[in-house]
Amino acid sequence: MNDPVDVLIIGAGASGAAVAWSLAETRMHILCLEQGDWMKPADYPSTGRDWEARFYGEWSTSPNIRGRPEDYPINDDSSPIKVVNFNAVGGSTVMYTAHWPRLHPSDFRVKTLDGVADDWPIDYDTLVPFFEENDRIMGTSGLSGDPLSPLTHPPMPPQPLGLSGPLVAKAMNKLGWHWWPSDTTVATMDYEGRARCINLGHCTPACAQGAKASTDITYWPQAIRAGVELRTHCRVREITTDENGMASGVVYYDKDGVEQFQGAHVVIIACNGVGTPRLLLNSASGRFPNGLANSSGLVGKNLMFHPYAQIYGYVTEPTDSNRAPPTCLWSKEFYDTDLSRGFVRGYGVQFVRGAGPVFEAVVSEQKGILPWGADHHRVFRKLNGHRLGFSAICEDLPEEHNRVTLDPVLKDSHGIPAPKIDYAISENSRRMMEHALARGREFLETAGATDICVNSPIPWGGWHLLGTARMGADPQSSVVNEWGRSHDVKNLFIVDGSVFVTSGGVNPTSTIQAIALYVADQMKQRLANLFD
Amino acid sequence: MPDQLTLTPRQRQDLRTIAAMIIPASEEYRVPGADDELIQADILATLGRDAKPVATALDHLARLAGMPLADLDPAARDGVISTFRADGGAPAATLVRVVLQCYYRDDRVLRSLGLEPRAPFPKGHVLEDGDWSLLDPVKARAHAMRQVS
């Protein structure tokens, strides 16, 4: 039997790390249980000659393909967009592109502004101090002053434009469209013990240099020094409750597969938009027959992904290929609602610098633009190192039929029911994606690109797992309140992307972490009456 | 165990033949074909979790060919390959990917492409800072983020 702790955090990824760090100053006994382990940068793909090949195996973005012991399977057969994630200390910040936009102020007022979905119970201004704090700790690079994005103050300069940046810039300028250097969490100078980026290029499947911020090298070392305990290889099966309907702790499997109980006075879930509803639904009991914290019936519903509409082509000029971080510029030209486009809301754009030779060969062969036989070499030399891409991150609106449930058959290695995804792209999103592809084609043609190819949606593009335990003031229409506490279970909190009410049209990690810090701050302010 | 699966001599023979059909040697570019001995050895040594689908693909290929692929006349071989590419599914795609991923990490091939045959870490790459005056037109335009109130 483990001694009970004051605060138990489930998940050591983006939000779990942030909330642990923030609460550490309370000097409470804080424990985080993480199903994965600490990663070893010396083992990261970019340290070996097989760096690209590993992307198709144990370093795949898909847990179903990757199949590491730390992963759990996900039945996403009923979704055109497959879930991608990473399970380790650092979570999916180990395996992400480090693109770092924030949700816009208008994203928190969707119902008021556009008459769709719901407004958030909090606004952008509430989160500003937490965005700023998070940017400082994660260490961001960028250029302040983007007229179409919220004001940020990155402590490091933007990434170099390289070869691809000017090609993007010239085409966008010709079209009169907005572009700006992206805020990223790639360190462009030495920062807080992290070495500056040396352009390994293969950023997404983990940065061997440590230039890309992941919470195992940002928040966690600080949180642990401040007294937080992090226990790895601990997979939580369910959250238990007492006779008063309060969370009493969790049942988990330790690194030896032995079932353990860990008592806690407060439980915080930070397992992402798929793992969190899975855990809540797996925590059903006599008192909570439909799953924990689910009196609204909304746990698992309103799953939002951000369908990606990607279009790319090949220019005669050389591009950065794999010799730079994959994303360096964004555009918000089509971010806000313009009903003349035939849809509400909008999308952000991230430009793609290129790809490595193996990826280029494999994808181009599959697309039918790289032939077999004698002409293979000539065509490959035309393609390799010449790719330029336009990826639209389309705002997905919440729909209850898009959901996470428990698979009746599929289980993980501990016998815990796996999540099942049912998801369909809405008509509004489809029109948005078509618009993005048309604009992307204009961009590519202006840049002089040929051999244009489309991935829409990007099948393995379910990076952003949002909305499945939404926040709101009304217990009938939300799972947690405006400061992340379950309406039903007064000592249960959720801090990950599940609480998003709407998705915005940008990568969400910055906003997820700002919300986690905000919830932690609310908890600290309310410690005397946290459960009232 | 699928990861320990090794290919039979016949499967290896067909793998070499199809690899040469995907990427033949080129005197013009001074590169070997994907049937090159070193590249084939790399493929076989690193099949790992791909061994099972690759073996499945090669078995399918053998059924279509009815004899070693190399023994078919060129027209018949092209016909078999055309069918294989059309109906080979995921195993066929894995086979092609395995050939490509080993070919495009071969030292000779990378040098021919003007690339250094090395891992990205620790040397990395040098990136030009670029011309930031390209941003001037964006700054000059009257853009404004949507206001909430």
CB-based contact, B70 to chain A, within 8 Å = no
- Cβ-based contacts of B48 with chain A (< 8 Å): 57
Inter-chain contacts counted by CB atoms under 8 A, chains A and B: 169
CB-based contact, B2 to chain A, within 8 Å = no
pLDDT confidence bin for B142, thresholds 50/70/90 = confident
pLDDT attached to residue A57: 95
What are the phi and psi torsion angles at A87 (to 5°)? -120, 105
- Cβ-based contacts of B130 with chain A (< 8 Å): 160-162, 165-166
Tell me the per-residue pLDDT of A92-136, one tens digit each, with 9 for 90 and over.
999 999 999 999 999 999 999 999 999 999 999 999 999 999 999
Of B50, B119, B128, the CB nearest to A51: B119
Query: Which of A123, A124, A99 is closest to A510 using CA atoms?
Result: A99
- Whether omega before B122 lies within 30 degrees of 0, making that bond cis, reads yes
Residue B3 has pLDDT above 80, yes or no: no
Question: Cα separation of A216 and A236, whole Å?
Answer: 20
Query: How many residues would you count in chain B?
Result: 149
Residues 6+ apart with CB under 8 A from B67: none
Q: Between chains, do A147 and B23 touch, taking CB under 8 Å as contact?
A: no
Query: Which DSSP symbol is given to A283?
Result: T
With CA atoms as reference, the chain B residue closest to A49 would be: B119
Tell me the per-residue pLDDT of A261-284, one tens digit each, with 9 for 90 and over.
999 999 999 999 999 999 999 999
- Cβ-based contacts of B148 with chain A (< 8 Å): 105-106, 108-109, 113, 123-124
CB-based contact, B45 to chain A, within 8 Å = no
Question: Cα separation of A463 and A96, whole Å?
Answer: 8
pTM greater than 0.95 (yes/no): yes
Residue B2 has pLDDT above 90, yes or no: no
ipTM: 0.96
CB-based contact, B30 to chain A, within 8 Å = no
Q: Between chains, do A147 and B144 touch, taking CB under 8 Å as contact?
A: yes
- Cβ-based contacts of B120 with chain A (< 8 Å): 46, 51, 200-202, 208, 322
Strands (DSSP E) found in A223-258:
229-231, 235-241, 247-253
Torsion angle of C-alpha atoms A284, A418, A303, A286, degrees rounded to 10: -10
Q: How many CA atoms lie within 13 A of A412 on its CB side?
A: 26
> Mean per-residue pLDDT for A372-383?
98
Query: Which of A215, A183, A187, A182 is closest to A199 using CA atoms?
Result: A187
Question: Cα separation of A325 and A311, whole Å?
Answer: 19
Q: Give, in degrees to the nearest 5, the angle at Cα A451 between A447 and A455.
A: 95
User: What contacts 24+ positions apart, CB below 8 Å, involve A170-177?
Assistant: A170/A447, A170/B134, A171/A443, A171/A444, A171/A446, A171/A447, A172/A331, A172/A443, A172/B138, A173/B134, A173/B137, A173/B138, A174/A446, A175/A442, A175/A443, A175/A446, A176/B141, A177/A331, A177/A333, A177/A443
Write the burial class of residue B132 (CB in 10 Å: 0-12 exposed, 13-18 middle, 19+ buried). middle
Q: Between chains, do B143 and A147 touch, taking CB under 8 Å as contact?
A: yes
Question: Cα separation of A355 and A358, whole Å?
Answer: 8
Of B104, B134, B135, the CB nearest to A361: B104
CB count, 10 Å around CB of A504?
Answer: 28
- Cβ-based contacts of B137 with chain A (< 8 Å): 173
With CA atoms as reference, the chain B residue closest to A376 would be: B23
Residues 6+ apart with CB under 8 A from A51: A45, A202, A356, B119, B120
pLDDT attached to residue A501: 98
Tell me the per-residue pLDDT of A58-74, one tens digit each, with 9 for 90 and over.
999 999 999 999 999 99
CB count, 10 Å around CB of A524?
Answer: 14
Q: Between chains, do A169 and B148 touch, taking CB under 8 Å as contact?
A: no
Of A150, A337, A362, the CB nearest to B100: A362
- The CA distance from A521 to the nearest CA of chain B, in Å, is 25
- The CA distance from B115 to the nearest CA of chain A, in Å, is 9
> Mean per-residue pLDDT for B112-117?
97
CB count, 10 Å around CB of A76?
Answer: 24
Of A161, A197, A361, the CB nearest to B129: A161
Q: Between chains, do B127 and A170 touch, taking CB under 8 Å as contact?
A: no
Residues 6+ apart with CB under 8 A from A78: A420, A421, A422, A423
In order, the DSSP letters of A170-181 are HHHHHHT---EE
Q: Between chains, do A46 and B146 touch, taking CB under 8 Å as contact?
A: no
pLDDT confidence bin for B4, thresholds 50/70/90 = low
Query: Which of B148, B62, B67, B29 is closest to A126 using CA atoms?
Result: B148
Tell me the per-residue pLDDT of A132-165, one tens digit each, with 9 for 90 and over.
999 999 999 999 999 999 999 999 999 999 999 9
Q: Decide: A490 and A107 in contact? Cβ < 8 Å.
A: no
> A445 is written with which tokens?
């043609």
Q: Between chains, do B124 and A148 touch, taking CB under 8 Å as contact?
A: no
Q: Between chains, do B135 and A180 touch, taking CB under 8 Å as contact?
A: yes
Residue B1 has pLDDT above 50, yes or no: no
Question: Cα separation of A523 and A501, whole Å?
Answer: 21
- Cβ-based contacts of B144 with chain A (< 8 Å): 147-148
Q: Between chains, do B143 and A178 touch, taking CB under 8 Å as contact?
A: yes
With CA atoms as reference, the chain A residue closest to B127 would be: A162
